[in-house]
Amino acid sequence: MHLKRIEISGFKSFAQKTTLEFEKEISAIVGPNGSGKSNVADAVRWAIGEQSAKALRVKKSENLIFSSHTAGAGKASVSLYFDNHDHALPVDFDEIVISRRLYKNGDTQYFINESKVRLLDILEMLSRVGINPKSYCVVSQGMADAILRASAEERRGIFEDAAGVKPYKIKRNEALRKLELTEENLSRASDLLAEIKPRLAFLRRQALKAEKIVVVKKELDEGLKKWYAFTLNRFSDQKKTITENLDGKDSILKKAQDELNSLIKKMDEIKASSGNLDDRQENLRNDLENVQIKIDECIKNLAIYETRLKIEEEREERPSIEAVAISIDYIKGKIADIYSAISAVAELIKKSKDGKPAVETDIENIEAKTRELLSDIASGKAPVDKNRIRQRAEEKAKAVEALSGEIARIKNIFNELNSEKENIRHNINKEVSGDRVRRGEFFALQGEINRAESAVYKMRNEKQIIIIEETKINTRFEDLINEIKTEMGETFLIEVKKVFPEAINEYELKEKIEKLKREYIQIGGIDPMVINECKETNERYNFLAKESGDLEQAIGDLRKVIARLDEKIDAQFNSIFKKINFEFNKYFRLIFGGGGASLELFEIVPRESEENADAIANLGDEEKKSKKKEKGINVKVSIPGKKVKDLETLSGGERSLTSSAILFAIIASNPPPFIVLDEIDAALDENNSQKIALILSELGNISQFIVITHNRAIMRQAKTIYGVSMTDESISKIISVKIDEVK
């Protein structure tokens, strides 16, 4: 790889596009002082990424753009063309063009083969072949002497660049930066883990409770479903059996009634043949029938109230969820409305034999009022009475007392009606006996009618008992349905109806339900969202734990990378340093005609101070190791016929020759693809210049040289010479000469 040509346009004194083509060996650029020949070296340095205006010999970057009193180029542009047939640069191009452009507004652009790139891309690519703005591929006036003027620690950096370990140093610094960042991230992750851990432990405990309460609630609901399903099914079976018994009694009663009607018909025929019966006897029978209707109604009402009384007394024995405490005044008002409606229905029954449609309408009104009351309670519209729990026992006692009083009242009416009935029957018998002479012929028939009436009465009583039992079952069934709706909700009732009823041990199931209810209350209210929060917190904890593990592994990997880079840097530096040391002694002896020179690598001991101690204490482990490994380089020389204590005792010429010897040693040990030398021979006499020219001729076999010089001895070694002159408009002009063509 070598530099084929340079194209300069608008850069410093090169106003017009100027092209310089170079041979693989030595090319020379000559011209009078002030002609702008050193601007070629500045152009190369600027194109490979130099950012320092001072290094480019201007006050600010805008001064790099050509400007005169008459015209200005508007931009500065430099392109370097590299022959890459050997693919020293890792790209699939035989020719690489690196360009840099600067505009008057301060914008800078970088290109590789006319593709816009970043400065970092150029620096990274060129560093692979040892080219960078700080390396010795472009050596300006006084730069060679900088090696001698530099401190021992700075000199170490110069030789590291010369040894080609700069890319590894960049990678090492990047690895150190990543290590520091990773350690900070690990510290933050550890702090977060420490912060989350106690919260996660609490959430886990709460989540276990929440999960347990879900299980308990599920078991409680399942138990209640079994209990309610079993009880509802039992009531349904009882209702079915009663319905079958009632149908049987209706059939028997119909037969008895038909027989009685037949006897009455015969009696009517006898009456017709023997004359009309006494109106008073007929009225007595009508009265008897009316009394019987009232007795039947009393029996029905008595069954209803006795059933409700028993339900009220047994209510606490059934398993249930704790009821909502509702205002007693609100309930009393609603129940008073319902009782008024019931009384109205009872009165309507008493007054009318055929009052069924009206009764059904009133019953529907009662049911509507009841549903309204239950809906208000379920939806929360009913006012809540905080003293309801205390008052429930009192209300129950009052309800039992009221029902007992109503039952006693109905029994009194029932007894009075039976007495009235017996009186009417007695009067009828009396009337019949009094009319024995007149109606003696149908006494026998009357006896049969009496027996038939007794049979009908007996069947009616048996039927009434069944009706009472049916009423009790229906009332219990309806109350249980309402209880489920009120305490568990409509949806729960639907689920209960879907449960297949099975045989249960009532005592064991009741005990289990009560136990689950106590356990449910003991666990207390747990926010169900705590399970999700616990899951999310646990996921975050696991993520941070995994990230911490990954960060720890990354830290270990970075430390290994740094260690490998340190080994590689040390190995390559030591190898190149030995070569440079050898070549330095060789070129020094060649230039000075004897004597000797060497480079001494030593460990730099930091100055002990409180400030240094604090600074070192704040460094990371890797940086501390790096500080411990810092080394410097001393230059020792021995000139024939002169005792040299240190470099400060050297003359200007001796310093220049010593610097040249170091420079040539660096080039010989790790040759870059090209070297631009800007008047490094300015301070040398003719004899020493010839020595330098011979060395350049020798080194021209391993690297390409572009030498800006006034020295004729060096010009003789060049294959191509460019002459630079300055016009009246302060524009540099180029004239080229190829020595082979001249010969």
pLDDT given at position 118 = 93
Q: What is the signed CA dihedral for 236, 237, 243, 245, rounded to 10 degrees?
A: -160
Band (pLDDT 50/70/90 cuts) for residue 438 is: low
Distance in angstroms (rounded) separating the CA atoms of residues 628 and 624: 6
pLDDT given at position 323 = 47
Band (pLDDT 50/70/90 cuts) for residue 322 is: very low
With the C-alpha atoms ordered 205, 208, 214, 215, is the resulting torsion angle positive or negative? negative
**Token pair for 332:** 């009393």
pLDDT given at position 147 = 76
293 pLDDT above the threshold of 80: yes
N residues, the chain: 743
pLDDT given at position 626 = 47
Helix (H/G/I), strand (E/B), else coil: 143: coil
pLDDT given at position 407 = 83
Q: What is the mean pLDDT of residues 210-223?
A: 62
Structure-model confidence comparison of residues 551 and 385, the more confident one: 551
294 pLDDT above the threshold of 60: yes
Distance in angstroms (rounded) separating the CA atoms of residues 708 and 140: 9
DSSP 475-535: HHHHHHHHHHHHHH-HHHHHHHHHSPP----HHHHHHHHHHHHHHHHHH----THHHHHHH
**Token pair for 410:** 């109905």
Band (pLDDT 50/70/90 cuts) for residue 233 is: low
Segment among 335-344, 636-645, 657-666 with least mean pLDDT: 335-344
Q: What is the mean pLDDT of residues 376-391?
A: 64
44 pLDDT above the threshold of 90: yes
Q: What is the CA radius of gyration of the chain?
A: 60
In this predicted model, what pLDDT tens digit does every residue of 696-729 receive, in sequence order?
888 888 888 899 988 888 888 888 899 998 887 8
Helix (H) or strand (E) holding 388: helix 388-434
**Token pair for 98:** 């690196």
191 pLDDT above the threshold of 70: yes
Structure-model confidence comparison of residues 75 and 364, the more confident one: 75
pLDDT given at position 712 = 84
Distance in angstroms (rounded) separating the CA atoms of residues 680 and 451: 156
In this predicted model, what pLDDT tens digit does every residue of 103-133 receive, in sequence order?
988 899 999 999 999 998 898 888 888 888 8
Domains of the chain: 1-137+675-743 (3.40.50.300)
Segment among 79-88, 136-145, 268-277 with least mean pLDDT: 268-277
5 pLDDT above the threshold of 60: yes
Angle among Cα 258, 263, 269 to the nearest 5 degrees reads: 125
Distance in angstroms (rounded) separating the CA atoms of residues 689 and 264: 166
Q: What is the mean pLDDT of residues 190-210?
A: 70
Structure-model confidence comparison of residues 379 and 652, the more confident one: 652
Residue 345's CB is within 10 A of a number of other CB atoms, namely: 19
172 pLDDT above the threshold of 70: yes
Distance separating the N- and C-terminal Cα atoms of the chain: 28
Name the DSSP class of 55. Answer: T
pLDDT given at position 308 = 78
**Token pair for 151:** 């401190």
pLDDT given at position 337 = 78
Distance in angstroms (rounded) separating the CA atoms of residues 677 and 707: 5
Among residues 172, 179, 174, 173, the alpha carbon closest in space to that of 556 is found at 179
Which residues, in sequence order, are CB contacts of 212 under 8 Å at separation 6+?
523
pLDDT given at position 136 = 76
474 pLDDT above the threshold of 60: yes
Q: Is 105 exposed, middle or buried (0-12, 13-18, 19+ CB in 10 A)?
A: exposed
Residue 156's CB is within 10 A of a number of other CB atoms, namely: 19
Band (pLDDT 50/70/90 cuts) for residue 34 is: confident
**Token pair for 724:** 């630079």
78 pLDDT above the threshold of 90: yes
Band (pLDDT 50/70/90 cuts) for residue 383 is: low
430 pLDDT above the threshold of 90: no
Band (pLDDT 50/70/90 cuts) for residue 625 is: low
98 pLDDT above the threshold of 90: yes
**Token pair for 289:** 């029938």
**Token pair for 215:** 């299980």
Residue-averaged pLDDT of the chain? 77
**Token pair for 432:** 């019949």
Q: What is the mean pLDDT of residues 360-383?
A: 71
Band (pLDDT 50/70/90 cuts) for residue 220 is: low
Q: What is the mean pLDDT of residues 672-683?
A: 83
Band (pLDDT 50/70/90 cuts) for residue 207 is: low
Share of the chain above pLDDT 70, in %: 74
**Token pair for 402:** 């009221």
pLDDT given at position 226 = 65
In this predicted model, what pLDDT tens digit does every residue of 512-566 receive, in sequence order?
677 666 665 655 555 556 667 767 777 777 887 888 888 888 888 889 888 888 8
Residue 711's CB is within 10 A of a number of other CB atoms, namely: 22
pLDDT given at position 353 = 57
Band (pLDDT 50/70/90 cuts) for residue 440 is: low
DSSP 581-641: HHHHHHHHHHHHTS-EEEEEEEEPPPPP-HHHHHHHHTS-HHHHHHHHH-EEEEEEEE-TT
Share of the chain above pLDDT 90, in %: 8
